[in-house]
A and B are shown apart, each in its own frame.
Chain A
Amino acid sequence: MHAFQLIAAGTPGAGTTFIAGGTDLLQLMKNNVIAPDQVVDLAGAHLRGITATSIELRLGALETMADVAAHPEVRRGWPAISQALLLSASPQIRNMGTMGGNLLQRTRCVYFRDTAFACNKRHPGSGCPAIAGENREHAILGASDSCIATHPSDFPVALMAMGAGVAITAAGGGTRVVPLADFYRLPGDTPEIETILQPGDVITQIVVPASEAAKRSVYMKVRDRSSFAYALASAAVAIEIRDNRILHAGIALGGVAPMPWRAAKAEQALIGATADAAAFEHAGRLATEGARAAGMNAYKIALAQRAVTRALMEAAHPTAETGVL
């Protein structure tokens, strides 16, 4: 690990690498994937608070994954957020990891995290060994010829299905709220740029609208073992059904794209449709339209489709399946 200066947020001339829970930052620094000279400690910044109203949910950027997952209002009004968080990492990591940090977790692509390899994201222009290499965990949607890495976090997938926004304060002051859908950037030929954040920007809050659909939201995660593993594919759905007709649908996929992947076509197809298995299977197929396998990840196409279909079934007819212990 490169030596650094640890300074409090708000210090004049402070650097632009922040530490919140530190769970991803310290891994990246230990592995020399990043080597900042200054690390700005957000612990003293006033970025906490969970407030739920009939209009929206506001999550302070420094709230922990554990506290948000356990919050009764979150569980009642936005259950997929709680489910996605409880299906993330381990109890210890969830006590440390924060909302802002989880949005900005870097990819788990093994080549990215190992400096012995080339990687366009870590070293622009050096090449992407994953394209012809170990790509069982890589993207089937939104990838480019320069990078096929996935975004690994679960929580933003739930946010994407519910139309959340991110409140950001710039280094010079001034706050803006950006829809999560516009927050992330696809790799194209600049995979090193992952979000619209500018140097010094701090995420202060995450804002999630309240809705009937959010109240019935479901997060479905498929992984190699039944706990403590990243998603091979996941689906977040938020649907509103009246008299067996679908009035509103939000659908996003996780573990299959460089960002939480909104399935707009599948959403549109569901609106006005009868809430039945045929409609949900059709939505699953539409959700992966345009998917392209790199090789070892071909299985993800069917897996993602089924995750969407199952999540929709679960939202329409709740069983114990997604009940997180």
Chain B
Amino acid sequence: MTDLNPTRRTVLCAVAGMSVLPDVPQNALAQTPPSHTALSVTLRINGADIARPIEVRTTLLEFLREQTALTGTKKGCDQGSCGACTVHIDGHRVVSCLTLAARCQGHEVTTIEGLAQGDVLHPMQAAFVAHDGMQCGYCTPGQVMSAVALVKEGHTGTDDEIREWMSGNLCRCGAYPNIVAAIRDVADHTPARG
């Protein structure tokens, strides 16, 4: 796992890096937008300030995936229904597909890339690996971001409670039992909130 991750990330960074050159048009926006809808924003993501010129329609999800090299956050439905795009804003979990990037200025955004400390996985990431909480892995970044927030919110009393409070994250592979086991494991090893 630890061997594969950096390799995959390096490849993705190289590809994504090309699309953030300023004079390359964003492929999401086919026609040139009227100039008054062009903005210049600085977003604080995983502790770093990232400044980019954007089009006002850009969602936080598009900003992360297309304007920066942060492709860990996934686009599933683009309509708020699947949770693949879950990130934290000021510590609260939200869906980035229904969030305008321009409205995130002055807030702290945390993505899946912001969880690990260098090569040391966040306990929730480690638990997903240990419990085999994924199959194809597409929903996993969103599941992990949601799960980290869930434990902080304290809704882990029973497995049913975990399932209810994870209901915003769908998994087409049906890895649910192992996802619940991973969250249960982390919750049981997290001191209760004060």
Show the binding face of A for B, using Cβ within 8 Å: 1, 3-6, 19, 22-23, 26-27, 30, 41, 43, 66, 89-93, 95-96, 227-228, 325
Contact = CB atoms under 8 A, between A and B. Distances in A.
Interface string B79-92: 11001001000001
A229 B139 CA distance: 19
Q: Is the interface of A mostly helix, strand, loop or mixed?
A: mixed
B100 A6 contact: yes
B55 A3 contact: yes
Q: Is the interface of B mostly helix, strand, loop or mixed?
A: mixed
B100 A5 contact: no
A23 B80 contact: yes
A271 B36 CA distance: 60
A92 B36 CA distance: 31
Contacts of B59: 26
Interface stretch (B42-50, B123-131, B158-166, B172-180): B158-166
A188 B55 CA distance: 40
A228 B168 contact: yes
Contacts of A228: 167-168
Interface of B: 33-34, 36-37, 39, 55-57, 59, 78-80, 83, 86, 92-95, 98-100, 102-103, 146, 149-150, 153, 155, 157-158, 160-161, 163-165, 167-169
Contact of A3 (B56, B83, B98, B103): B56
A4 B100 contact: no
A300 to B, nearest CB: 23
A92 B86 CA distance: 8
Contacts of A19: 100, 103
12 contacts: A3-B34, A3-B55, A6-B102, A19-B103, A22-B100, A91-B165, A92-B80, A93-B80, A93-B95, A227-B164, A325-B160, A325-B165
Given A43-B103, A227-B167, A5 B94 contact: no
A156 to B, nearest CB: 19
Contact of A96 (B39, B94, B102): B94
Nearest to B56: A6
Contacts of B103: 6, 19, 22, 41, 43
Contacts of A22: 98-100, 103
Contacts of A26: 59, 98-100
Contacts of B168: 89-93, 228
A26 B102 CA distance: 13
Nearest to A43: B103
A5 B168 CA distance: 31
A84 to B, nearest CB: 15
A114 B86 CA distance: 25
Contacts of A93: 80, 95, 98, 168
A23 B95 CA distance: 9
A104 B88 CA distance: 26
Contacts of B34: 3
B141 to A, nearest CB: 13
Nearest to B89: A95
Nearest to B170: A228
Contacts of B93: 91-92, 95
B146 A92 contact: yes
Nearest to B87: A92
